[in-house]
Amino acid sequence: MKTLIAYVSTHHRNTHILARSMAAHIGADTIDLLADGGPSKEEILSYDLLGLGSGIYALRHHRALLRFAASLPRERAGKCFVFSTRGFGRPDLYHRALHRKIRRRGWEVLGDFSCRGFDTFGPLAILGGINRGRPDGEDLQRARDFLRSIVDEAAQRSERSTR
Q: Interface with ligand FMN by CB under 6 A: which residues?
A: 9-16, 55-59, 85-89, 117-119, 121
Smallest gap from Cβ 121 to ligand FMN, in A, equals 4
CA atoms of 103 and 31, how far apart (whole Å): 21
What b/e readout covers 109-147, taking b as 16+ CB neighbours within 10 angstroms? bbebbbbbbbbbeeeeeeeeeebeebbeeebbeebbebb
Output 20 or 79, the one with its CB closest to ligand FMN.
Answer: 20
Q: What is the DSSP string of 115-161?
A: EE--B--GGGGTTT-BSTT-S-HHHHHHHHHHHHHHHHHHHHHHHHH
Q: Which of 130, 143, 137 is nearest to 12 (CA)?
A: 130
Smallest gap from Cβ 158 to ligand FMN, in A, equals 30
Smallest gap from Cβ 113 to ligand FMN, in A, equals 13
Smallest gap from Cβ 45 to ligand FMN, in A, equals 27
